A and B are shown apart, each in its own frame.
Chain A
Amino acid sequence: MPDQPKNPTSPDLDAWRKAAAKLAPSGDLSRLAWKTPEGLTVKPLYTKRDLDGLPYTDTLPGFEPFIRGPQATMYAGRPWTIRQYAGFSTAKESNAFYRQTLAGGGQGVSVAFDLATHRGYDSDHPRVSGDVGKAGVAIDSVEDMKILFGGIPLDKVSVSMTMNGAVLPVLAGYIVAAEEQGVAQNKLSGTIQNDILKEFMVRNTYIYPPAPSMRIIADIIAYTAQEMPRFNSISISGYHLQEAGATQALELAFTLADGKEYVKTALSRGMNVDDFAGRLSFFFCLGMNFYLEVAKLRAARLLWWRIMKSFAPKNPRSMMLRTHCQTSGWSLTEQDPYNNIVRTAIEAMAGVFGGTQSLHTNSFDEAIALPSDFAARIARNTQLIIQEETHICDVVDPWAGSYMMERLTQELADAAWTIIEEVDAMGGMTKAVESGWAKLKIEQCAAEKQARVDRGEDVIVGVNKYRLEKESPVEVREIDNTSVRDSQIVRLKKLRAGRDQKAMQAALDALTKAAESGEGNLLDLSIKAMRLRATVGELSAALERVWGRFKAETQSVSGVYGAAFSDDAEWKALQADIRAFAEREGRRPRVMVAKLGQDGHDRGAKVVATGLADLGFDVDIGPLFQTPEEAARQAIENDVHAIGISTLAAGHKTLVPALVEALREQGASDISVFVGGVVPAQDYDFLHRTGVKGVFGPGTPIPECARKVLAAISARRPSTV
């Protein structure tokens, strides 16, 4: 192009600053910069100068440090795997869904288990009556596994299993199901999540204490390295950390530090790093923070390479971070839910630009219930459209060379590295988790985030801005928990009647003994027991006999949420009302925040507890995994004015009525019951009829909840004790 005019002057940044300042609010250019929750500054303009001093701006995909991707051709060669996570109460329904997905362009199966299975209980255990078939498929034995994978060629279809607590019986059950399908274990491909450290921080679906849990992981890594070369032994997950409130930097840091801990554990068992490092995979969250999410995946690969380099592997694959990603469930809104389709598409794009190896896109109705067929189809098609209509796949790492993206990648990596060093100084992630420090760090982020949303500083369209005057109900999938449980119990009875009890018991005893002595491979022994038709609950109990069940210590942050409201007139008015209540009643309003059943997602409960306490409530936190009867007893013993139940896993229709009934039986109907969390609009009436005083959907600001609770208990028992 010979006639092209030359750049008139070399770029003069000062001149730009002056011009831009004129357009900035109050002439202050810094007001256009965005400070991210982790404290990074995102500027309105990046220039070539921002690349100064960056060490990794000229690298290639498929080569160290892998910042641009683990493979040379990335999606230009073959796009990412579309992997939709799903589980529908029974093995039969789930199986039908998987086959439908595979026929419709899905490329792998991803299994969601129900809460009872996660926690190592059989469906007939009395503590899980409200949890069977909730949030996933109920699996009690190999027989259920065989139905789950019926007609799915396990040597061809890769299977991803979200399982962390009951990893041994579930992975063993899958292996035996394949074996009886005629597929040898060395042909199996897929991933088991098996990331227990993050469970202690956020999701709480653990069974045993940290130390024996780490042994299970080491045994699984060792066994799969030897027998299942195509299977990923662990999926180190940041997803749930971000969902619980962590910033991107914290998600990145804790996930990689978890990974480092697993590597150290395996090495301490005498394994060679190259024998297993290539089979470690990752799992990150994609939220609405678009640029940072792209940067996060690039930074993750850079940092993992840096971490692994220190273990001196010979195979470059050992330093290569491969990851699955899922769009954020937290970003989905109950209000105006079709907006979620747009959110999910944007989040999916961030994952694609970041170079993920597989992707799950959420269904738009998942803020309310398990996905309907319609919503699941749209979610899957979102990925197909990006893959096949847009030509986005044709270029590898297209954001490389962007002044902004290169700068942010490095800054995010640096921020995460500082946290990783802090973890190292504490003695590694197991220590950081055991002390409760890591969990509190995430909860602090969550409280800050909630305050920003409740104050409207972080905009959520349709929730704290542009609200619809009237919401129209969305069709949702209903689960009949009782019938699922009943049919599982029948199947369990049949299984127990038809097996060689003596041989089975001997296999379980061998497991107990291995737990005691520390010798033998637990996965190997689990496979033997599952083959003889031990159940998930029996196998878990055989180990529990030695290790016990882990009991979390509840710590909580305080002051973080309230600090954001220090100048807020409405907040102060509410505090004054609470003080007035305390004077009138002779004590502060006392509420119990509880979770019922096996659902361990406690972000909502903890954020509400800290917010209410900052306002001036006395807050009793109930232990996780309480039964309705236990919660009623605690409420009565502590003589609270009200109970708030946080529910995210569809337990509200069985567990809440049971709680109300337990209170009534003990003459404590005057204790008001509130429900918060994921409740479909059509269930509000049902809950109100049960006697619930208020239902707070996602997005209800804490002060609003507080005001309603205060009004209800003020009206209830005036000036008596």
Chain B
Amino acid sequence: MMGLSRSTRLAAVPLERADETLIRGVLGGETRPIARAITLLESTRKDHRTRATAVLEALAPHAGKSMRVGISGAPGVGKSTFIEALGMQLVERGHRLAVLAVDPTSSVTGGSILGDKTRMERLAREPNAYIRPSPAAGALGGVAERTREAILVCEAAGYDVIIVETVGVGQSEVAVAGMVDVFALLQLPNAGDDLQAMKKGVVELADVIVINKADIDPAAAESAARQVRMALSILRPASPNWQPPVIALSALNAEGVAEFWREIVRYRDTMRACGDFEARRRRQALDWMWSLIDAGLRARFHGNPAVKHELDRVSRAVNEGAVTPVAAAERLLGLMSD
């Protein structure tokens, strides 16, 4: 993120020597150090977290210069095909592109199966593209925070477009929209799909809406686009300066993809001109801080020996109706200050 000025830099953590090499590698745009740095910040180990914080501090002054694009949509909507088509056009135009694929599910026992590069096979071969799928979090959670940090690493490494891809389930769209400059939602050209998205309140998050698979039935895609436009017109846009466009395209045939990117550029220019672009980033930075504080407090709570000792018993008591939730929460929180 935007680095704190030297005088306000808080609790600077000393860098380990190995990490100095890592940082140099990242700044030099070398793949292995980039990959290693992301692994470091994904790590759930405490000492790794300390090192990751120091590494991020060092990288932060070099970050922030990319266009951050969030892309979401239901399974089967063609996200990967779309990102591949878009990505190929971007690298051809000289951009350096990083794709961070986020698996929002949380699984306690099993691991994840990650097939993103299978789906973005051509892009994966491009020297100026970096694709990193992240596994579902274990019990400890925190996928969103790790992705924000990974964006910084990629930016410091010189990637000027960062795409964050996530499957549209539950809260993942909200999390991703909260870490990118522009959030695009992919939909299929069948009726009902738009209603679903409306209901979930996801449409409000979108700065651009894409109706994919227009190749199958162009007329249906256009009529879906019209419907979504109509639906959008009754919603209040997130920014008074931007009415989200709806674009029907075919990712499979790479048709309409250039138009999509023109809209992204127009969005960036418009929002920069009115100051909303920077305002959004500042808001996100603050949100980020708060979500870290929330997570940190939660972790501290669970790590507190007295809480650990009492938690099961108190939870059971609430479950059995012996104690009110209010009293229980107060008791447990009270243990932290003891």
Residues in chain A within 8 A of chain B (CB atoms): 551-556, 558-559, 562, 575, 582-583, 585-590, 609-610, 612-624, 630, 633-634, 636-639, 666-668, 720-721
Contact = CB atoms under 8 A, between A and B. Distances in A.
B132 A623 contact: no
26 contacts: A551-B119, A551-B121, A558-B113, A582-B44, A583-B45, A586-B42, A586-B43, A587-B42, A587-B44, A612-B111, A613-B110, A613-B112, A614-B110, A615-B111, A619-B112, A619-B113, A620-B133, A621-B114, A622-B117, A624-B118, A634-B124, A636-B32, A638-B114, A638-B117, A638-B133, A721-B43
Interface in B47-98: 48, 51, 80
A630 B113 CA distance: 19
A589 B40 CA distance: 14
Contact of A586 (B35, B44, B115): B44
Q: Which of B38, B110, B132, B138: most chain A Cβ within 10 A? A: B110
Contacts of A589: 111
A709 B135 CA distance: 19
Contacts of B130: 637
B302 interface: no
A435 to B, nearest CB: 9
B319 interface: no
Contacts of A583: 44-45
Nearest to B41: A721
A587 B43 contact: yes
Given A558-B113, A588-B111, A667 B32 contact: yes
A613 B113 CA distance: 6
B109 interface: yes
B306 to A, nearest CB: 23
B18 to A, nearest CB: 8
Contact of A622 (B42, B44, B118): B118
A440 to B, nearest CB: 12
A630 B124 CA distance: 8
A588 B45 contact: no
Contacts of B119: 551, 553-554
Nearest to A629: B125
B233 interface: no
Contact of B31 (A621, A624, A633): A633
Contacts of B35: 636-639
A618 B112 contact: yes
A609 B32 contact: no
B284 interface: no
Given A610-B113, A613-B111, A552 B39 contact: no
Contacts of A666: 31-32
B112 A636 contact: no
A620 B113 CA distance: 6
Given A613-B113, A616-B110, A618-B135, A639 B38 contact: yes
A620 B48 contact: no
B118 A616 contact: no
B39 A639 contact: yes
* Those 4 A-B pairs whose CB atoms lie nearest each other, nearest first: A586-B43, A586-B45, A554-B118, A618-B135
Contact of B45 (A551, A585, A610): A585
Contacts of B112: 613, 618-619
Given A587-B135, A721-B40, 12 more contacts: A551-B121, A553-B119, A558-B110, A587-B44, A590-B135, A614-B110, A617-B111, A634-B117, A637-B35, A638-B114, A638-B133, A720-B18
A609 B113 contact: yes
Contacts of A575: 109
Interface residues of B, number: 34
A719 to B, nearest CB: 8
B31 A637 contact: yes
A575 B119 CA distance: 29
Given A633-B31, A637-B31, A637-B35, A616 B42 contact: no
A623 B31 contact: no
Interface string B140-160: 000000000000000000000
Nearest to A556: B113
B262 interface: no
Contacts of A639: 35-36, 38-39
Contacts of A667: 32
B335 interface: no
A555 B115 CA distance: 8
A553 B114 CA distance: 12
A554 B115 contact: yes
Given A575-B109, A585-B45, A586-B48, A619 B114 contact: yes
Given A637-B131, A637-B132, A638-B133, A621 B32 contact: no
Contact of B117 (A585, A613, A619, A623): A623
Contacts of B44: 582-583, 586-587
B115 A621 contact: yes
Contacts of A614: 110
A554 B114 CA distance: 9
Nearest to A610: B113
B37 to A, nearest CB: 8
A388 B224 CA distance: 69
Contact of A620 (B31, B43, B117): B117
A544 to B, nearest CB: 14
B86 to A, nearest CB: 16
Contacts of A634: 117, 124
B53 to A, nearest CB: 14
Contacts of A624: 118
Contacts of B121: 551, 623
B106 to A, nearest CB: 13
A135 B151 CA distance: 45
Contacts of B135: 587-588, 590, 618
A555 B36 CA distance: 27
A588 B113 contact: no
A621 B113 contact: yes
A551 B84 CA distance: 12
A633 B121 CA distance: 12
Contacts of A585: 43, 45
Nearest to B22: A721
Contact of A552 (B40, B48, B118): B118
Nearest to B115: A554
Nearest to B35: A639
Contacts of B117: 620, 622-623, 634, 638
B253 to A, nearest CB: 9
A582 B138 contact: yes
Contacts of A668: 32
A621 to B, nearest CB: 5
A667 B33 CA distance: 11
B161 to A, nearest CB: 17
A472 B138 CA distance: 46
A720 B43 CA distance: 10
Given A630-B125, A721-B43, A623 B138 contact: no
Contacts of B115: 554-556, 620-621
A588 B36 CA distance: 15
A583 B18 CA distance: 22
B118 A562 contact: no
A196 to B, nearest CB: 19
A504 to B, nearest CB: 29
A620 B114 contact: yes
B97 to A, nearest CB: 13
B292 to A, nearest CB: 18
Contacts of A618: 111-112, 114, 135
B118 A621 contact: yes
Q: Which of A559, A588, A609, A612: most chain B Cβ within 10 A? A: A588
A553 B110 contact: no
A623 B43 contact: no
B31 to A, nearest CB: 6
Contacts of B111: 588-589, 612-613, 615-619
B263 to A, nearest CB: 26
Contacts of A623: 117-118, 121, 124
B227 to A, nearest CB: 25
